[in-house]
């Protein structure tokens, strides 16, 4: 595997813990929110970028695709809500949306995909996740 240019420091998209590593599907990771409060379910932009698309899926909630610096894109999925629209700009740390709260009482999760060009990248290699 090749190391990604880590000259810019990326902000973790969610305060919480890694519950599914990149090795499981080689596309993305699953992060579990630290708790169920609104602030703990807040998803943030990993760096400055422009919103390319906002889509909604019946079972996976809202997904936001952001073009970040260089050839890097990120997909933030399983959101309950977002105020972002296509062509909006975000800075690193800006809120993207909030995760869905779960009926089961278990913490909500974020499915997060990071791409360099067309290649899926393990986010754990380029940002602190613990």
Of 129 and 12, the structure prediction assigns the larger pLDDT to: 12
3-state SS class at 123: helix
Cβ-in-10-Å burial (0-12, 13-18, 19+) of 10 comes to buried
50 pLDDT higher than 90: yes
| pLDDT tens profile 59-92 | 889 999 999 998 999 999 999 999 999 999 999 9
Longest dimension (CA), the chain: 40
Whole-number percent of the chain with pLDDT over 90: 75
124 pLDDT higher than 50: yes
Find where tokens 């909630």 sit: 61
Of 114 and 103, the structure prediction assigns the larger pLDDT to: 114
3-state SS class at 105: coil
**What is the model's pLDDT at position 17?**
94
**What is the model's pLDDT at position 107?**
85
Residue 124's φ and ψ, nearest 5 degrees, are -65, -20
Q: Are 51 and 97 in contact (CB under 8 A)?
A: no
Q: What distance in Å separates the CA atoms of residue 108 and residue 111, rounded to the nearest whole number?
A: 10
């Amino acid at each position: 595997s090749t190391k990604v240019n880590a000259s810019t420091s990326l902000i973790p998209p969610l305060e919480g813990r890694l519950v599914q590593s990149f090795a499981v599907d080689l596309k993305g990771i699953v992060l579990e929110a630290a708790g169920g409060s609104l602030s703990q379910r807040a998803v943030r932009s990993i760096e400055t970028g422009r919103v390319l698309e906002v889509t909604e899926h019946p079972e996976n909630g809202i997904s936001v695709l952001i073009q970040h610096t260089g050839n890097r894109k990120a997909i933030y999925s399983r959101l309950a809500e977002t105020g972002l629209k296509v062509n909006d700009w975000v800075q690193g740390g800006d809120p993207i949306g909030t995760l869905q709260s779960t009926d089961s009482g278990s913490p909500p999760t974020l499915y997060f995909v990071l791409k360099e060009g067309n290649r899926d990248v393990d986010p754990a290699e380029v940002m602190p996740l613990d």
